[in-house]
Amino acid sequence: MSELPTSAVIDLQRAHRSVRKFLDTPVTDAQLAAIIGAAQHASTSSNLQVWSVIAIRDAERKARLSAAIGNHAYVTHAPVFLVWVADLARNAELIKAQGGEPATFHLIENTLLSGLDIGIAAQSALLAAESLGLGGVFVGGIRNNPAVLSAELGLPKYAFPMVGMSIGVPDPDEGTGLKPRLPLTGVLHHEQYDGDRWKPSIEQYEESYEGYFAGQGHPGRSWARTVAKRLGTIEGMHGRHTMRDSLREQGFDSE
Ligand SMILES: Cc1cc2nc3c(=O)[nH]c(=O)nc-3n(C[C@H](O)[C@H](O)[C@H](O)COP(=O)(O)O)c2cc1C
């Protein structure tokens, strides 16, 4: 293929790596406002803006949250820990103030809509943070214990803690690199889905995957085995197999 077009944004996207070790340098209120303000400009379904984000800096609260999800230094030691909340509570109030009822909030479409909007906004925020020289990591692990998270954060009905995100100045000693992705030919289809499209490139991917983890001191890893462990067993869900009950607790019946 001829040389691909590029841009500062594409370069930044291609330089992404999750950061799990941070310097003690704080993330300022101005940086936080710039990051979240940028994320607010991301596309949002029907402009419903169904998310809120809670910025946590208090060391004891971070420690309690971290303990509730298995104790992760990247939560406890993050200068700021963000919890991205699917927030239909605001929209419920708006509907009720007009004499209506949140008559569709029990539908899975609105759970999906919230999750999609949050994913889009949160990734926009992470990219904005990276553009400022910060780094971070998504923390889906908060869904290992949504009840404790909801209680700790005082979430009302129709508000669900969807994903966390640690943000800070990357510790240069962390030493992680760019984790390889599947070759483009494995994921980009043309006109119709082709179920065999990824197969010719999988060996090549396994090689680069193994090489990456060997370089990190973990030889012998395989992407296929990782997928099987994470998605092929209930244990791999780390408690998230009861997610519909957790969602229901917060008013997201997901029917
Ligand atoms: C929705 C989501 C949830 C994630 N949850 C966690 C998590 O709980 N803990 C963690 O260490 N990394 C988590 N990650 C980071 C992924 O493991 C990481 O993005 C992936 O392995 C690719 O590595 P890279 O981001 O360094 O390229 C999460 C990523 C996403 C998108």
Q: Which helix (H) or strand (E) holds 202?
A: helix 202-215
Spell out the domain ranges in the chain: 9-176+238-249
Cα of 179 from ligand 1 centre, angstroms:
11
Residue pointed to by tokens 């962390």: 174
Q: What letter does residue 235 receive in the DSSP assignment? A: G
Cβ proximity of 125 and 165 under 8 Å: yes
Here the tokens at position 185 are 């030919």
Measured in whole angstroms, how far is the alpha carbon of residue 187 from the centre of its chain? 20
pLDDT along the chain (255 residues), means of 10: 92 98 98 98 98 98 97 98 98 98 97 98 98 98 96 98 98 97 96 96 97 97 97 94 96 97
Cα of 139 from ligand 1 centre, angstroms:
7
Q: List Cβ neighbours of 40 (8 Å cut-off, separation of 6 or more).
A: 49, 121
- How many alpha carbons lie under 13 Å from residue 46 in its C-beta half-sphere? 6
Q: How many CB atoms lie within 10 A of CB 238?
A: 15
3-state secondary structure of 105: coil
Give the global pTM. 0.97
The residue whose CA has the least distance to atom 1 of ligand 1 is 140
Atom nearest to 69 CA in ligand 1: 8
Cβ proximity of 48 and 91 under 8 Å: yes
Q: Ligand 1 pocket: which residues have CB below 6 Å?
A: 16-18, 20, 137-141, 163, 179
Q: List Cβ neighbours of 175 (8 Å cut-off, separation of 6 or more).
A: 216
Atom nearest to 16 CA in ligand 1: 27
- Residue from 13, 14, 18 whose mutation best tests the ligand 1 pocket (most atoms within 8 A of CB): 18
Cα of 197 from ligand 1 centre, angstroms:
25
The residue whose CA has the least distance to atom 27 of ligand 1 is 17
The residue whose CA has the least distance to atom 15 of ligand 1 is 138
Cα of 117 from ligand 1 centre, angstroms:
18
Q: What is the pLDDT of residue 103?
A: 97
User: Cα(208)–Cα(173) distance, rounded to whole angstroms?
Assistant: 23
Please, which contacts does 214-218 make with residues 24 or more away whose CB atoms are closer than 8 Å?
Answer: 215/177, 216/175, 216/176, 216/177
Here the tokens at position 225 are 């085995």
Which superfamily does 9-176+238-249 belong to? NADH Oxidase (3.40.109.10)
Cα of 133 from ligand 1 centre, angstroms:
19
Q: What is the pLDDT of residue 1?
A: 67
Q: What is the pLDDT of residue 2?
A: 78
